[in-house]
Each structure stands twice: as C-alpha cells, then as structure tokens.
Structure 1
Amino acid sequence: MNIGDRVRLLHGNEEGVITKISNGGRIEIEIEDGFRIPAMKNEVVIISAAERQFFGDGIKVEESKSFDPKSSKENSAEGVYLAYIPINDKDHSIYLVNQSSRAYLTMVSEVFGDNSRTIVAGELVARGNKKIGEKSIADFEEWPTLLCQFFPIHTKIEKTQPSFERRIKFKASAFFKSKRKVPILDKNGYLFKLTENIKEIDITELNEELKSISQTAVDTKFPKPEKNIDLHIEKLTKDYPFMSNAEMLKLQMDTFERNLNYAIAHGMDQITFIHGIGNGVLRKEIHKHLSQLKNIKYFQDEQKSPFGYGATLVRIS
C-alpha cells in the first residue's frame, strides 16, 4: 500500500486516494471534493485497475500503445503536456512533452509566494520532450506551484501564434486520476495537458513590466539594514501557517542574503542574524552560505543575551 493508491473503506462507501502514510498503520485518504479522512491500513482495501475498469469509476488507465504521429487519433490530442513518470514506487521524473508540430521557447519556474526559482529554460522541439526535474510522491504536499511559460518559434513568415502560460498546483484527487500513456515517451505516467485553459502572455505588457523593473533597479538605493535581523518566520510574513517548511526556509534565506548584501554595500563591519535554535536547519544553511563568501572575515554563534545560541554574528571585511 503506497501513497497514490486508490482505496475503499471496508466499513463504509467512501473511496479515495492515499495522500499520507504514518507510523502505526495510520493513513490519510483524500475523497471527493478534496476532503481528507483518517483511517487505519486494516480498514481499507486497494481498488485494483481491473475492478475500476469493470465498474467504471472514471479512472480507466489507457492500454499501452506506441505513439504514431501519423495517427489521426493521436493528432486529435496535439498539444503540450506535463508528465510525471515513475522511477520507482516513490520518485518520479518530470517531463515537458511537445506533441505538436511547433517548437517553443520554454521557461518553467517553481513559485514560492512572491518568490520564484527557474528550473529550466530553453527550446522545446516539435514532437520532442525535455526532462525538467524529479519529485518524490512522499513530498507531494510540499510540491510548489509550477509556472510554465511558452513562446512559439516561427521559422517562416506566418501568422503570429500567441504565447501562453499555465500555473499548476496539484490536488491529490486530481493528480492520481490522470494516469495514462504518455505520448512521445511511450511510457505510463501521470499526464496533464498544458494547452488547455491557457492564459495568453501579453508581450507588450511583459516588456513594459521588465522595463519598469530594470528602471527601478537602477534608481533605487539599497536601504541600510538594522544591526540585528530577526529571521523568525512570524516576523517575516503573516501567511506562515499556510506555507510548507521548504517555502518558509526559502523566505528566511532570501531575507538573510538580501540584508547581508545590503550590509556589505553600505560598508557595515558587522551584522547579526537571529535564527533561533529550533532544529538547526536555518542556522546550518546560513553558515553554509557564509563559508562560501570571500568578503567575510569570520562568523560565529552569538552567545550573549538576549539571543543565547540562536543567532550568528557576521564580521564583514
């Protein structure tokens, strides 16, 4: 029994997808409309693929077949897809699959609130694919929103095709129902069509936005930071109850790096970052970053009141 399996309760009519497995035989099941209910492993039974297909619950897995670009049936499903293909029972490779006759310039980013990280940028060839990363189903709840942007490549004079983008945040109930044959790659996986419900990108508006950002960067002076920067998450955002651990750490590290750069730019000789004790992950990441910088004289745990051991003093050269 694994995360992603579809199960039925033995003493009820509910069916759903396993989203979490805990110690002691406890599991969490996401049923229709996104509701989640707890259960014990011995209280549920896995619904087999044969049973689903016979009774018709709408989760039919397509039969394996090779992709033929000349097939009218395959051509009817032309478009750009996002595919998650299992490596083992937990890890999945992520692919962009272009089942169309047009190439695109592509950029895919992971979005963390107001921050983002580009994970791939480049050309997605016609009738081709590009691997963009790997994810573990065990971390499903912490997967960030994906922003996928596509700019069509015109190799001849023709009508200009619109650029488009999709933002994707998965729910378990939808994700695990999407298992089917992935075109081009000819493998079974979880498949999502990106050329449905698209939002066109206004190139003029995008250029104005980039121009504005560039002008602001030139005109804005770096603010001088305080001598003590508190990185406790509740000091940085009111939305922390809705953030994953990865998102909170990303925000804390961004705040740390930004203020350190400001301190260096203003010629400050030292700055202290208050990170608390906790599980030590933030402290470890801060010390790792500082150890790679050449313009730092040294850094050390700040032991004096009021921070105890929950702060790091940075001496700037």
Structure 2
Amino acid sequence: MKIGDKVRFLSDTGGGKVAGFQGKNIVLVEDSDGFQIPTPINEVVVVEEDNYTTGFSEMPVSAVTNDDEDYDPADRPVTFKAKPMEYKGGDRLSVYLAFVPVNIKEMSKTSFEAYLINDSNYYISFAYMSQTTDGWTLRAMGEIEPNTKEYVEKFGFDMLGDMEHVAVQFVAYKRDKSFAMKPAVDARLRIDAVKFYKRHSFTENDFFDEDAMVYTVIENDTVAHPLVIDTKKIEAEMMKTVHREDATKGHDMPARKRTKDNIIVVDLHATELLETTAGMSSGDILNYQLDVFRKTLDEHRMEKGARIVFIHGKGEGVLRSALVKELRYKYKKYPFQDASFREYGYGATQVTIK
C-alpha cells in the first residue's frame, strides 16, 4: 500500500485514496470532500476502481508488496492536519488579549505570558504593538487559526512601563471557502499596569484553566473602544499645571517647584495635575498620576544626586503603593524614603537620582 492507492473501508461504507501514514499502523484516507480520515491499516483494502461499493476487486493488505524490502510506512512524512473546527455563532468576530501569570502564587516575583485569543470561525493575520515616545514598536505578528489562542510574548514587571498603550491590528478571512468580508480591525487598548500587582485582577475565564486578565479587542463584530488618553493632550495639560497655584488647599505650592535646598517638589494630587477629572474613573486618574511620576523621573535621570519629593497624600495609600512598586521594579537603582514630615507632613516620598 502506498500514497495514491485507492482503498475502501472494511467495517464501514465508503473509502478514498491514501494520503499518508501515521506510524506503522495508521493510514490517512482522503475522502471525496478532501477530509483525511485516520484509519487502522488493517481496516482498509486496496481497490482497483474508483468505486467503493460495487464492481471492484480487492487485494488484502497482507498481500501488498513493495519493491523496497526495507519500506516502512512510518518513514513517509505525516501529511494529515485536521481542519479547524467551526462553531455556531462563530462568524461574528471575537478576539481578546489575555495576560496569564506564570506563578500566580508569587505575584511579587512572577512573570507573565501574553496571548491573543481568536474566538471566531475566521483566520486572523495580526500585528501586536506597543506605543513608545518615538512611535510604535512591533511586539509580535503572525496568523491565528479559528477558535484557537496564540502565545505572543513573555514579560516581567520591569517591562510594564512599555505596555501602557498597546494596539492590535488584524484582517480576518477563511480558507478554501467563500465568506463574508470583515473590515480590518485597529483596536487600541490602555493596559493598567497597577492591576498586575494585584492577585484579584486575574480571574476565572473561558479560555484558560488558570486565572487570567482578559481585555476585549473585538466582540461580536464590535471593536472595543476603551479610554485612550492623547499623549499630546497630556503634555499640554502638564505644561498648564506646572505653574498653576493650588487655590483649593489654601497654600501657594505649585504642581512642581524647586526649594531653597534644590529639592524638586511634584504634587501628584489630581486637582494639581488636571483641570477637571470629569468622565475619568479612579483607575484613569491613577494611571495619569503614574504617568507624571515616570516622566518626572525620566526628565531628571541625568541629574545625579538630585532629590525629588512626590506629594501623594495619605488617603487610602493606593497611589503611594503604586509608586513604591514602580520604584522597586522599574527604578531599582533610585533609593527612596518618606519625605520630611516637618516640611511635607504625611503623604510624601523622596526619591534620589543615582
């Protein structure tokens, strides 16, 4: 028996032609629809005519010979590949970006794996990118089969600062059949870095056995439109607030100033940084404050020995906790401590540039 032989099934009606072999005991029979059916080799017989029910002569498998005495079906390359499954409702595009902790029991040390999930009956050809100060950086690209997920990258806490804004672009199509054309997708997501430090941010889901953080790229043909803050607008707001006085607190400390001891003071209160917080969630405000914190450190990174005091307030300690995690993981070389209580009261942290 060899590739191309016509065979029929012994224990069932029908048959086809031999498309390949899996090991020594399985033959791949390709039927008239192009499907390759793995079948035990002793369950098929070779026929001379393309007629699987009548008018054929049979040749028992045991009688099959080959000119090459060392011939072994297992030596032939495996050509079988199951066709992707399609599901009811899968003709509406649903794609997700998911993050899975490698070791969820060690949240302070774990790394993370990123996946793109294609929950539709379409193939998608994708590009996954993140935004930098100079533009966009390609992180991964490729093709994902219908109703599967694709690993795209692994990263640690030190890379979270580069993933605040990501984009997923893709086109969708089917193979070997006609399909309804879908518009190209360009989805931009804002990734909340603070969530990666919290165990409860990762939850039970439909795609992994493990808990994961899942962002919607598109669902039922509707592209997700999460809040994306324009970086140019942020810079403009920062320039406006640098010299703005705090009338609400009754003191004259601007959002940023230098003291007589040459200490740079940055007030991270939302009222100091933004003209208004209307329409912004607490998470959006926190991300904005962290963005100002990072840009301040980057701006003064060449000033060795410079001291910067960030006023974050006492409150519930959420902002301070987020700053401390940034300092421990992204700015490890910068020592920090509570700022002078006499000068700033509770709720201020001093960072030294090294």
- With the length of structure 1 as denominator, give the TM-score of the two structures: 0.41
Q: Tell which structure's C-alpha radius of gyration is larger.
A: 2
Higher strand residue share: 1
Structure of greater relative contact order (alpha carbons < 8 Å, 6+ residues apart): 1
Higher helix residue share: 1
